[in-house]
Amino acid sequence: MSQRRPEDPRSTGRPTRSARPGPAAKKTGAPKGAAKTSAAKTSAAKKASAKKTSATPPAKKAAAKKTARTTASRTAASRPATRPTRGPRPSSTRPATRPATATPAVGSPRARMRALMVVSLIVLSLFAAQLLRIQGFDSDAVAADALRQRTQTEAIPAHRGTIYDVNNTVLAQSQERRTVIVDQTAVPEYKKTVDGERTTVGVEGAAEDLAEILGDPASEIEPKLTGDLRYRPLAKNISPLTWRKINALGIPGIYSERSSQRTYPQSTTVASLVGFVQPQDQSAGGGLELQLDDVLKGTPGQATYEIAQDGSRLPNASDDVTSGTAGKDVRLTIDNDIQWYAQNALADKVKETDALSGTIVVQRVTGELVALASYPTFDPNNLGDGKGVYSNLAFSDVFEPGSTSKIMTVAAGLEEDTITPETPMILPGSVNRGNRTLNDSHPHPDEYRTVAGALAQSSNTGTILIGETMEPKTLEEYLRKFGFGSTSGSGFPGESAGLLPKAETWNGSQRATITYGQGVSTTAIQVTNVFQAIANDGVRISPTFVKEVSDGEGGWEAAPAGKRNRAVCSP
């Protein structure tokens, strides 16, 4: 049975493979006439399709091509000498055309560009608004804040006045000092020249260089330079010469603050009187330093300057310096030579007698104090050891005056005309008052004495008899005129007023014992002031320390005199 060769593949519009006859062809055995008829129909269909395709739009042409490929596939399948090809998907499963849209797809480059432009405009608008606010509306405030951040204000301590004795011996003086400060975050950038080359030596190199100047081991200095603290004191009470050496090193983050140090050349000799200042801030701590603080301290100044990020001062930047006003110098009535002798004699006697404490007061009739020793005392140059007594016991310690107060009882009787120096008296060895037996200063039988004789022998019983010539209230008033029960008027810090009970509270025995200094408490300065009043014809003058105060122009002004009070009239 004859069989035609397959047609040229080009006639179908797509290449086809030569295939072995399919099963259908073998079974049916189609006649030649049928094959020819099928080929003719196929050829006619191709021509018609080609004409139709040329007159249709691109979308329709594509559909037509799909139809042609389907027809060709069916034709080839009917051929016995060829392998049937895989048919395409039915044309009904896809739309012939896609609907056109005027909006670009979301993921298109044009949409992304538009979105990016909108966001950029918003951001730039915010920057412009912020710039307008900073440069226009808030320009002054922003500039002031920026200046504040890069400026540093340093207090310039006022020079504290010097304290002299009556002969111009220096008792206390201030010296300029520096406190070295470190910014730990800047020290690692320390560079110096090593073997002709600029080398970063950092914290270790800075510690070694500072150790040579400060005299401390580098191992102790290095931890102080290490860390992230922007402010840490490195060394205190550094002399200006030492600071200049440190500053010449050029270590980043190392700068200084002005300070002062109070020194006391006479050490313990006048410590309890002159007092001390606090080592932390040089503020007055006690004694005359505290009492005369308003005169001595002056008014501090202020320096404002610009600094770099590492804390160093900008050399060409503007600065504002307000100078401080120095304190005034003070000249005391104290004689340092007499003070030295009294202080050492007192210390020796306290140690010799194994006493707890002691005081010596030397006062002129005019009220001026010449020496005022107190023991135990302290070293004002070394307050850190915590040893010694920081107060002056002549003002703070109270005790029963004892026989030293008998002179006031006799003076009151003389002033009230209840006795005279020649008034005769019989002095018993003891007397009974209240529920107590009061003995004389020494055992004796009855003795005949005058008032002057009783005072000369410091007789307890004789003084009791003199005091009983007056009302208790009258005696109390005279004791207060002599300064008992109140401070001396010197103004010394920490002074005690002592204790003098009111006459209404005196019982039977106290009425008698107060006449010779028992049942009342007082201070050493009060007792001394009593004898000053007796020596000054009955006029008590408050104790004074200050003789003169400098006027700030090289001269001196006399200090105010002590307050005068008449205790008794002159004989």
Structure confidence at residue 13 (pLDDT): 45
Report whether 528 contacts 488 (CB < 8 A): no
Residue 266 contacts by C-beta under 8 Å, 6 or more apart in sequence? 169, 170, 171, 274, 336, 340
CA distance 370 to 338: 7
Residue 571 has pLDDT above 70, yes or no: no
- Identify the DSSP state of 306: E
Q: How many CB atoms lie within 10 A of CB 418?
A: 16
Residue 170 has pLDDT above 60, yes or no: yes
- Identify the DSSP state of 563: P
More confident residue, 69 or 441: 441
Residue 239 contacts by C-beta under 8 Å, 6 or more apart in sequence? 175, 176, 177, 178
Report whether 184 contacts 229 (CB < 8 A): yes
More confident residue, 494 or 136: 494
Residue 82 contacts by C-beta under 8 Å, 6 or more apart in sequence? 6, 16, 18, 19, 21, 22, 76
Structure confidence at residue 298 (pLDDT): 87
CA distance 11 to 15: 9
Which range scores top for mean pLDDT: 59-73, 133-147, 417-431? Answer: 417-431
pLDDT tens digits, one per residue of 313-353: 665 565 677 777 889 999 999 999 999 999 999 999 999 99
Mean pLDDT for all residues in the chain: 82
Residue 198 contacts by C-beta under 8 Å, 6 or more apart in sequence? 191, 192
CA distances from 57 to 92, 99, 316, 456 (A): 19, 15, 84, 153
Tokens 């560079």 label which residue? 191
CA distance 282 to 284: 7
| Beta-strand relationship, 151-156 and 369-375 | unpaired
CA distance 484 to 408: 10
CA 211 to chain centre: 27
pLDDT tens digits, one per residue of 520-547: 999 999 999 999 999 999 999 999 999 9
Structure confidence at residue 312 (pLDDT): 60
Report whether 83 contacts 17 (CB < 8 A): yes
Structure confidence at residue 516 (pLDDT): 95
Q: Can you say whether residue 458 is alpha, beta or left, with left for phi > 0 and alpha for psi between -120 and 50 degrees? A: left
Structure confidence at residue 62 (pLDDT): 46
Residue 83 binned pLDDT confidence (cut-offs 50, 70, 90): low
Q: Is 355 strand, coil or helix? A: coil
Residue 303 binned pLDDT confidence (cut-offs 50, 70, 90): confident
Residue 61 has pLDDT above 60, yes or no: no
Report whether 361 contacts 537 (CB < 8 A): no
> How much is the average pLDDT of 284-303?
91
pLDDT tens digits, one per residue of 367-408: 999 999 999 999 999 887 767 889 999 999 999 999 999 999
